[in-house]
A and B are shown apart, each in its own frame.
Chain A
Amino acid sequence: MSFNAHFDRSAARLVLKGDCGMAEAPVLATALAAVRSAEPGTLRVEIGGRLDIGPSWLLRALVVELRGAGRHVEIEGRMPEHLRYLDEVASRDVGSMPDFGRATFADRFAAFGGALRRRVASWYEALMFGGRLLESAGTAWRSLKRLRVPSVVRHMHETGVQAIPVVAVIALLISVISAYIGAQQLRPFGAEIYTVDLVTIGVLRELGVLLTAIMVAGRTGSAYAAELGVMKLNDEVDALEAMGMNPYEVLVLPRVVALVLVMPLLTVVADFMGLAGGALLTSYLIDLPWSQFVMRLDSSIGDTTFWAGMVKAPVFGLLIALTGTLRGLQVRESSRELGRLTTVAVVQSIFLVIFADALFAIYFLELDF
Chain B
Amino acid sequence: MAAVEPLIVVRDVVNRFGAQVVHDGVSFEVMPGEVFGIVGGSGSGKSVLLRTLLGLRQPDAGSVAIEGREVTAMDDRELRDVKRRYGVTFQHGALFTSLTVAENVTLPVAEVLDLDEASLAQLLELRLRMVGLPLEAAAKHPAQLSGGMVKRVALARALALDPKIVFLDEPTAGLDPIAASAFDELVLYLRDSLHLTIVMVTHDLDTLMRTCDRVAVLVDRKVIVDTLEGIVANEHPWIRHYFHGGRGRAMRAAQEDGRGA
B104-137 vs A, CB cutoff 8 Å, 1 = contact: the mask equals 0000010011111011011111101110111110
- Residues of A at under 8 Å CB distance from B? 21-23, 25-26, 29, 32-33, 52-54, 57-58, 61, 82, 85-86, 88-90, 92, 94-98, 100, 333-336
Pick 12 A–B contacts, CB within 8 A, sort by A.
A22-B109, A23-B112, A25-B113, A29-B115, A54-B126, A58-B123, A86-B126, A94-B128, A97-B121, A333-B97, A336-B97, A336-B98
Q: Which of B4-12, B19-27, B65-73, B138-146 contacts A (4 or more CB under 8 A)?
A: B138-146
B102 at the interface (CB under 8 A from A): yes
In the complex, what residues of B have CB within 8 A of residue A100's CB? 102, 139
Q: Which one of A32, A61, A82, A95 contacts B194 once the chains associate, using CB atoms below 8 Å?
A: A82
Q: Which of B81-110 contact A (CB under 8 A)?
A: 84, 96-98, 102, 109
Measured between beta carbons, the chain B residues less than 8 angstroms from A57 are 122-123, 126
- CB contacts (< 8 Å) of B162 on chain A: these are 21-22, 52-54
CB-based contact B132/A92 at 8 Å: yes
Per-residue interface assignment for chain B, residues 143 to 180, with 1 indicating a CB less than 8 Å from any chain A CB and 0 otherwise: 10000000000000000111000000000000000000
Q: Which residues of B contact A86 (CB under 8 A)?
A: 126
Which residues of A are found within 8 Å of B129, using beta-carbon distances?
89-90, 92, 94
Which residue of chain B lies nearest to A96 when distances are taken between CB atoms in the complex?
B135
B122/A58 in contact, CB under 8 A? yes
Closest A-chain residue to B122, C-beta based?
A: A61
- Does B193 interact with chain A (Cβ within 8 Å)? yes
- Do A333 and B143 have beta carbons less than 8 Å apart? yes
CB < 8 Å neighbour of A26 from B113, B122, B124, B132: B113
Q: Kindly list chain B residues whose C-beta atoms are within 8 Å of the C-beta of A29.
A: 115-116, 119
Question: Nearest chain-A residue to B123 (Cβ)?
Answer: A54
Cα(A58)–Cα(B113), bound, Å: 14
**Across-interface contacts of A82 in B (CB, < 8 A):** 193-194
CA distance A336 to B112 in the complex (A): 24
The winner among B98, B114, B139, B160 for most chain A CB atoms within 10 A is: B98
- In addition to A22-B162, A97-B125, A97-B136, 6 A-B residue pairs with Cβ atoms within 8 Å of each other are A21-B162, A22-B112, A57-B126, A89-B130, A92-B129, A94-B134
- Inside 8 A of B128's CB, which chain A residues have their CB? 94
Tell me which of B126, B141, B194 contacts A334 (CB under 8 A): B141
Q: CB-CB < 8 A to A21: which residues of B?
A: 162
Task: Pick the contact of A97: B114, B130, B138, B160 (CB < 8 A).
Answer: B138
Q: In the bound complex, how far is the Cα of B134 from the Cα of A32, in angstroms?
A: 27
Cβ-defined partner of B135 (8 Å) among A22, A58, A95:
A95
Residues of B within 8 A of A336 (CB): 97-98
User: How far is B194's CA from A57's CA once the two chains are assembled, in angstroms?
Assistant: 13
| Cα(A301)–Cα(B44), bound, Å | 69
Contact B98 A22 (CB under 8 A): no
A22/B97 in contact, CB under 8 A: no
- Find chain B residues with CB under 8 A from A61 CB: 122
- Determine if A53 and B194 form an interchain contact, defined as CB atoms under 8 angstroms apart: yes
Contact indicator A98/B139 (Cβ below 8 Å): yes
Nearest 10 A/B pairs, CB to CB: A336-B98, A334-B97, A98-B139, A333-B143, A29-B119, A57-B126, A85-B193, A52-B162, A22-B162, A22-B161
Query: B105: shortest Cβ distance to chain A, in Å?
Result: 12
Nearest to B98 among chain A residues (CB) is A336
When the two chains form their complex, are residues B114 and A26 in contact, meaning their CB atoms are under 8 A apart?
yes
Q: How far is the CA of A58 from the CA of B116 in the complex (A)?
A: 12
In the complex the two chains form, what is the Cα distance from A245 to B240 in whole Å?
43
B residues near A92, Cβ cutoff 8 Å: 129, 132
Closest residue to B97 on the A side, CB-wise?
A: A334
Most chain A CB within a 10 A radius of its CB, from B84, B126, B128, B134: B126
Q: Provide the residues of chain A in CB contact with B160, threshold 8 Å.
A: 22
Assess the A94–B133 pair: CB atoms within 8 A.
yes
* Residue pair A89, B136 in contact (C-beta under 8 Å): no
Chain A residues closer than 8 Å to B133, beta-carbon distance: 94
| B118 contacts across to A, CB distance below 8 A | 33
Q: How far is the CA of A26 from the CA of B118 in the complex (A)?
A: 12
Nearest-CB distance from A80 to chain B (Å)? 12
Cβ–Cβ < 8 Å partners of B130 in chain A: 53, 89
User: What's the Cα separation between A54 and B163 when bound, in Å?
Assistant: 10
Assess whether B143 is in contact with A22, with CB atoms less than 8 Å apart: no
Determine how close the nearest CB of chain A comes to the CB of B155; give it in whole angstroms. Answer: 14
The reply to whether B132 and A94 contact each other, CB–CB distance below 8 Å, is yes
CB of B102 within 8 A of CB of A85, answer no
Distance in angstroms between the alpha carbons of A25 and B127 in the assembled complex: 15
* Interface contact A25-B139, CB-CB below 8 Å: no
Known: A58-B122, A89-B130. A96 touches B136 (CB 8 A): yes
Q: What CA separation (Å) do A257 and B161 show in the bound complex?
A: 53
| Assembly CA distance A315 to B125 (angstroms) | 56
A25 CA / B194 CA spacing, docked (Å):
18
Question: Quick one: given A82-B194, A334-B97, are A95 and B122 in contact (CB under 8 Å)?
Answer: no
B contact residues around A97 at 8 Å (CB): 121, 124-125, 135-136, 138
